[in-house]
Amino acid sequence: MLKPAFHRVLLALSLAIILSGCESVSSTSQFYRPSTAQVFPPKPKDYSVPIFSKPPDRPYSVIGRLSFTANSSYGFMIRAIQYNARLHGGDAAIMLHEDTEQRPYNYYVPGYTSYVPVTTYSFGTANSRYCGPDGPARRSEYGTSTSTTYLPTFNPGYMGVGMLTLRSIDASIIRYR
Residue 1's pLDDT is 45
Query: What pLDDT sits at residue 16?
Result: 52
Task: Kindly state the percentage of the chain with pLDDT values over 90.
Answer: 72
Report pLDDT for 141.
82
Distance CA 9, CA 153 (A): 49
- 47-82 pLDDT, tens per residue? 999 999 999 999 999 999 999 999 999 999 999 999
* pLDDT value at residue 140: 79
pLDDT for residue 135 is more than 90: no
**Closest C-alpha to 62, from 32, 81, 86, 34:** 34
> Is 102 in contact with 168 (CB distance < 8 Å)?
no
Task: Fill in the amino acid letter for 43.
Answer: K
pLDDT of residue 136: 79
* CA separation, residue 127 to residues 11, 124, 138 (Å): 83, 10, 7
- Pick the most confident of 120-124, 142-146, 164-168: 164-168
Q: How many residues does the chain have?
A: 177
Task: Kindly list the distances between the CA atom of residue 47 and the CA atoms of 80, 81, 83, 125, 128, in Å, as whole numbers in the listed order.
Answer: 14, 13, 10, 86, 93
Domains of the chain: 7-104+164-176 (3.30.110.70), 112-155 (no CATH)
**pLDDT of 30 over the 60 cut:** yes
Kindly report, residue by residue over 88-123, the tens digit of the pLDDT.
999 999 999 999 999 999 999 999 999 999 999 988
Round the CA-based radius of gyration of the chain to a whole number and report it.
35
Contact 61, 175 (CB under 8 A): yes
pLDDT over 60 (residue 19)? no
On average, the pLDDT of the chain sits at 87
When pLDDT is cut at 50, 70 and 90, the band that residue 8 belongs to is low
Per the DSSP assignment, residues forming a β-bridge with 159 are 108
